[in-house]
Amino acid sequence: MPERRSSKKERGEEYRVEKAEKQDEKDEKDEKGREEKWNRDPVARVTWAAIFIWIGVVLLGEHTGFAASWPKWDPWAYGFIGAGTIILLQMIARLIMPEYRWGVIGNLVFGLILLGIGIGFLTDWGWGVIFAVVVIAIGLAILFGGLGRRRR
């Protein structure tokens, strides 16, 4: 008996099933890659540990009265300034180590925002001035970061 040729409709269905299977495999591989990258990212782990330690030190200074004699002592301000500084240091570490060079712009934006919030608590300039400076700094960093990249 001669083989029956499959119809266009059947071939189309086979193609869609095969394509969906390949996409599922790719998605699974991408998910594993992201999980492995996160698990192997000591920079992020050290950063968050440092932020928690810093906040703990600030709270300890607040509750023991150690920092009460400081001029303009505000635990929120120093907490935000320290966290922003640590995030910016993470960004610098990521720039130095090529194997961890991802999320740099996000770290820059987040670090500058935290720093701006902390400085806003300590200064009399007003929030408008602080955030205008932060937004300008973010824009300049993105501009110069884009100009510094080499085209492949």
CA distances (Å), 94 to each of 12, 28, 36, 40, 45, in order?
Answer: 47, 27, 17, 14, 13
Same domain, 36 and 47: no
Of 88-92, 97-101, 138-142, give the range with the top mean pLDDT. Answer: 88-92
CA distances (Å), 69 to each of 64, 65, 72, 132, in order?
Answer: 11, 8, 9, 31
Tell me how far the alpha carbon of residue 48 is from its chain's centroid. 11
Same domain, 24 and 5: yes
Same domain, 61 and 127: yes
Mean pLDDT (the chain) is: 81
**Do 84 and 114 contact (CB within 8 A), yes or no?**
yes
pLDDT tens digits, 7-42: 767 777 777 888 878 877 777 766 666 566 556 788
Same domain, 29 and 55: no
**Model confidence at 105, in pLDDT bands (50, 70, 90)?**
confident
Is a pLDDT exceeding 90 seen at residue 53? yes
Same domain, 1 and 29: yes
Total structural domains within the chain:
2
Q: What is the mean pLDDT of residues 124-134?
A: 83
Same domain, 70 and 33: no
Same domain, 27 and 62: no
Same domain, 75 and 110: yes
pTM: 0.66
Q: What is the mean pLDDT of residues 46-55?
A: 95
- 11-15, 32-36, 83-87, 138-142: the lowest-pLDDT one: 32-36
d(CA 108, CA 118): 15
Question: Residue 4 is part of which domain span?
Answer: 1-40
**Model confidence at 143, in pLDDT bands (50, 70, 90)?**
confident
Other beta carbons within 10 Å of 4: 7
Same domain, 68 and 127: yes
**Do 91 and 107 contact (CB within 8 A), yes or no?**
yes
